[in-house]
């Protein structure tokens, strides 16, 4: 009896397999598998092609925090979640796909500890209620008059001319946010 593994057994024990397409690498992880990328949400490895595909289908979450001069952008996917600099995003973002029929649907990204106060479609080239509100949030953040932290969530849909948008805040900030909206509408 031999303690030496065959090439196939060695690959199975030490190699990497893509969690999406099942492509296999014989490279030991300790030596660095250059064609594989780690996914921080699912804690899996993806081949370079599947990782790039994941990057192309990320949702965007923008935090407009009145205590910060610049908004913070997070990119959230099914397997990857990062901030605008490529560092891991805070944990807890949840992204769900909703099917509207056999071929169509949209994503919804939820931010932990928040509630959605407005949602809708951002239609290419068309003014919508949610898009106008997101623009007001951005402008008031730039002017330093946004009263509470607000998350603007932009999700992909099956329609290439539309994205799903949501505005999320902490539940404790609801009254302050509603007063801000009323004051904005009165002016």
Are 125 and 155 in contact by the 8 Å Cβ rule? The answer is no
- Residue 32 scores a pLDDT above 50: no
Q: Note the pLDDT of residue 9.
A: 53
| CA neighbor of 54 nearest in space, from 73, 38, 33 | 38
pLDDT band at 181 (very low <50, low <70, confident <90, very high): confident
Are 154 and 74 in contact by the 8 Å Cβ rule? The answer is no
* CA 79 distance to own-chain centroid: 10
Convert the pLDDT of each residue in 142-180 to its tens digit: 999 999 999 999 999 988 888 899 999 999 999 999 999
**This model's pTM is above 0.85:** no
Q: In whole angstroms, what is the distance from residue 89 CA to residue 76 CA? A: 8
């Amino acid at each position: 009896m031999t303690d030496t593994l065959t090439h196939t057994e060695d690959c199975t024990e030490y190699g990497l397999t893509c969690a999406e397409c099942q492509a296999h690498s014989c490279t030991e992880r300790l030596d660095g598998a250059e064609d594989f990328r780690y996914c921080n949400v699912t804690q899996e490895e993806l081949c370079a092609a599947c990782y790039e595909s994941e990057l192309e289908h990320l949702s965007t979450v923008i935090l407009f925090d009145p205590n910060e001069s610049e908004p913070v952008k997070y990119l959230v996917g099914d397997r990857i979640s990062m901030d605008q600099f490529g560092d891991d995003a805070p944990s807890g973002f949840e992204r769900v796909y909703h099917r509207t029929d056999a071929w169509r649907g949209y994503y919804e990204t939820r931010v932990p500890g928040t509630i959605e106060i407005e949602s809708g479609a951002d239609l290419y080239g068309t003014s919508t209620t949610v898009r106008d509100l997101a623009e007001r949030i951005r402008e008031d953040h730039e002017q330093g008059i946004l009263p509470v932290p607000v998350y603007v969530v932009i999700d992909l849909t099956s329609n290439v001319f539309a994205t799903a948008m949501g505005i999320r805040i902490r539940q404790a900030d609801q009254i302050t946010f509603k007063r801000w909206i009323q004051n904005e509408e009165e002016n």
